[in-house]
Structure 1
């Protein structure tokens, strides 16, 4: 009975994660606590999972990456990539992204390149951003530190089998797979759309909401009488009045106090709204906002804004900035800006106050696309020492002189002593949700084992693939990880697929290593849907992509990647 309760609860968690009704951290922690109360894991076992050595190594790596991403090296490299022929620029962007992502946090790599690519006007950003994101995945899956997914799998290997995966153990299969897939991606990139920022078709990029003040002389007059039909570069799209939308807006429509007017068109022409008395952009005078800097940002995967509206978080007080436009890919957002639930990857156009740069939560919430905002950078000496220190840690871990955990801990201590990082910054950017997800997933895996649910799943896998041998079961485990990473997230996919793969290997009496590796490779195989991987969400709106763009480019890439993984893995890591 307990076995089936565990299986049903795990299925329920998966449904909730796919539906997006709960955040992964909430779902995993709740299930781990439920198993604790059911007696499937004891308190000591639960707490031990949150101090798993590989998990601690992952957290240290992410904290050290806070210094690495502030190095001016990435910005200098990114500024030199986009020139000349689009094909050559695509090759340089992809190649550089892949190489850097093998050792640096691929989110930081994509964030830096994203700003440079979005600001330039030589090549349409839509031609470069999907290749950038995909190449960062290909580079990241080749080393232990290249992606958090590999370290998650290593943490499960440590918890289950008592060994960690080495620095370049992923490279034996990862490098040839990355090279083959890289060529297919380069070929497919020619099919990407051309969305030039200055093109007329881009007039629907942003939607600007303006509130009509009750005391305005525009109240009681029609749209035509107020001169709202002949705006330069802007078009009155709809009116929100008492919770309902009026669209299309006819010239005889009479304005009422409290109306929210939604405009679309060229953001640069927003000055046209200055001449209308009592018209306020997101609750503020248009001339007040226009007197400040306009900054365009993307909401990051760490942001506390995700799933909340601007009104709920009191955006103006939190950042001393007013949002004058929101963009989500090529999708039109309806209604008042302050009431739209925000998502990771949304583009915000903000008019920022004088002390906006001094807010310490900017890096956690936003990736900069354009504007005059300059983030603190390391000087040349700090940058050189930080990069040299990180390279030394990687080398010592590879040669077995120091473990990766020891090396990263020493480096983090040196960064704190040298004031490159501060305790406040570490507190602010600590990957708390990731720590909760992985620690809870490790505890859930223990419950699966103790309840017999893992053995039952292994028997099911054996029954399905009976007569086809362990290779068919290996393909099944890979496909499970791939489907999960496309529908949930990469780290959650690895956490859910690993216990199944491990139990399946035991049921077939096979070496578990190929099963462990295909879980890692499958959990990184997010090429079809943008919602499962943070770098895809980062490029989704700036590139003004649609789901169809990801499917058109991602399908041949995913097929190539999968075939290469399933051919090479059992050859390099035999059963």
Structure 2
């Protein structure tokens, strides 16, 4: 049974690394199989989902919904970029790390992303990867800095070791952050310098055609004219008498002198030759056609991930048409409606008049450019919200209240004051994270009950027996780093924790250095963009390639690992 359970965990890792199945589905399926086969009992599984640290993590993310609406971060981002590139970069990384120590790092990167992408003083490609990395540096310094630390705390609580304290990570985390910031300041010289502003102005996405007065299309609907199923092209919008009709419905009637705007494979101009009375106007968009363009990045919470535009009926869902899709440095071509989308893809949208009123925007997109702005807090509200959060952190740090109690009181105040709404909490509730962590806690219990955890511990002891407990500690850290680079950071922490705890027990060592190795190792994602959500957020806006992460991140990863491996056993001894 132990070998079967261990094999199922390896299969889970392979599935997660493939990216073809959502982590929540994979974890829930395996946890369900543990329940059905009797490896874990129902009360044990339910207790996993009611873990105090997991509940604290959910509360923290919900409270962050209010904090990320503060305009203060946008104003701060604009101030940071004054001066030459290197000093501006140092200020950006220092500020990003400091804020990420207490605020959700995804919210920090999202707040800076739009401002950094729109400004033209410094190429965004020189700033965005450093911002993403800096959010990791700050996150490892406190309990609330990253969800990974709270995940590790939830496992420690589940194992009977108690919750980790607010600044337990700081004695190692702060020196690591400082070392990595200065390392990144040097390695950032290898980042590309893309002039995105010039490239965006050309907008090579459109194919326009005017309906001539003698055209047979006049007086018929889009459906009747067979313009719904064109080879490689898609009718995005119509310009009529100085106004835009966007998106275009199937029953829209074509008028004389209408300007039809198509997108998709614009090189397939011959598709339009079968329509009589159409005069092609070229591939550039004029001032009116670009007035309703908005660029967004698909978020990690989006329902669009791994689905096509046709599958989700994008036009109906958002009242917008997709003009172009960019993934990293390249613009995707072909029939846009049939391209499976990925988290981090950049979409150029031609939006309808009520696009900004849709309540599902925050969950699905990070706004890069355009005239639309999310509803923001006033300056007074921002100061009140940030002040309330600071009080909650201080109360938790001093032991006046637990972190859960502090965040619960703060959320109640936000709800009463109207800074947070039940509807917003419902829309943005982190269901996937809740399912992944709850299921992972169940899997840890199953590994323990089946003997799989003991089997792994025996293997680790056999592998490192001749080298001592420090070698086993290094092995746990490197294993966690390998998993966080190939799967997600939270999944890596969830799967590495039982191994770390069992290894500590096998060597009769204090489990704390091994637990911290998992916490720091699960955040050590610097080499590829696919294992960490903030890396994906900046991937397309910065027009990066995979090698950009490798060249910039390798020195950072080496210095991060060396500093963690040196300081952790000193701060958290093995005995």
TM category, shorter: 0.7 to 0.9
For structure 1, which segment, 305-314 or 427-436, has the greater mean C-alpha deviation from structure 2 after superposition?
A: 305-314
Shift in Å, 1:383: 1.4
1:113-128 equivalence runs, <5 A: 113-128=112-127
- Post-superposition CA distance 1:76-109 (Å, at most 9, x none): 1111111221111111111110000000011111
1:316-335 equivalence runs, <5 A: 316-335=315-334
Would the alpha carbon gap of residues 9 and 178 (structure 1) be closer, same or farther in structure 2, given more than 3 Å must change?
A: same
1:231 counterpart residue number: none
Structure 2 gap ranges (5+): 217-230, 234-261, 268-276
Supply the distance in 1 between the matched residues of 2:59 and 2:24 (Cα, whole angstroms). Answer: 19
1:547 counterpart residue number: 546
Shift in Å, 1:553: 0.4
1:277 counterpart residue number: 278
Is structure 2 residue 389 aligned with structure 1 residue 390? yes
2:446 counterpart residue number: 447
- Post-superposition CA distance 1:252-309 (Å, at most 9, x none): xxxxxxx986249xxxxxxxxxxx938899xxxx899927511111111111111111
2:489 counterpart residue number: 490
- How many residues end up aligned between the 2 structures? 523
TM-score by length of 2: 0.87
Aligned partners of 1:209 and 1:325 also within 8 Å: no
1:355-394 equivalence runs, <5 A: 355-394=354-393
For structure 1, which segment, 355-364 or 287-296, has the greater mean C-alpha deviation from structure 2 after superposition?
A: 287-296
1:461 counterpart residue number: 460
Supply the distance in 1 between the matched residues of 2:286 and 2:204 (Cα, whole angstroms). Answer: 18
Aligned partners of 2:324 and 2:331 also within 8 Å: no
Kindly report the root-mean-square deviation, in angstroms, between the aligned alpha carbons of the 2 structures: 2.6
Is structure 2 residue 473 aligned with structure 1 residue 474? yes
Would the alpha carbon gap of residues 498 and 198 (structure 1) be closer, same or farther in structure 2, given more than 3 Å must change?
A: same
1:245 counterpart residue number: none
Would the alpha carbon gap of residues 287 and 462 (structure 1) be closer, same or farther in structure 2, given more than 3 Å must change?
A: same
Supply the distance in 2 between the matched residues of 1:194 and 1:357 (Cα, whole angstroms). Answer: 32
- Of 253, 262, 282, which residue of structure 1 is paired with 2:265? 262
2:205 counterpart residue number: 208
1:85-96 equivalence runs, <5 A: 85-96=84-95
Would the alpha carbon gap of residues 157 and 216 (structure 1) be closer, same or farther in structure 2, given more than 3 Å must change?
A: farther
Shift in Å, 1:211: 9.8
Aligned partners of 2:209 and 2:280 also within 8 Å: yes
SS across alignment from 1:80: helix
Supply the distance in 1 between the matched residues of 2:6 and 2:411 (Cα, whole angstroms). Answer: 41
- Post-superposition CA distance 1:328-385 (Å, at most 9, x none): 1113423111111111111111111111111011111111111000111111222121
1:281-300 equivalence runs, <5 A: 290=289, 293-300=292-299
Aligned partners of 1:211 and 1:261 also within 8 Å: no
- Post-superposition CA distance 1:228-251 (Å, at most 9, x none): xxxxxxxxxxx849xxxxxxxxxx
Structure 1 gap ranges (5+): 220-238, 242-258, 265-275
SS across alignment from 2:454: helix
Shift in Å, 1:419: 1.0
Would the alpha carbon gap of residues 172 and 291 (structure 1) be closer, same or farther in structure 2, given more than 3 Å must change?
A: closer
Supply the distance in 2 between the matched residues of 1:342 and 1:508 (Cα, whole angstroms). Answer: 46
Supply the distance in 1 between the matched residues of 2:201 and 2:44 (Cα, whole angstroms). Answer: 54
Would the alpha carbon gap of residues 214 and 158 (structure 1) be closer, same or farther in structure 2, given more than 3 Å must change?
A: farther
For structure 1, which segment, 313-322 or 204-213, has the greater mean C-alpha deviation from structure 2 after superposition?
A: 204-213
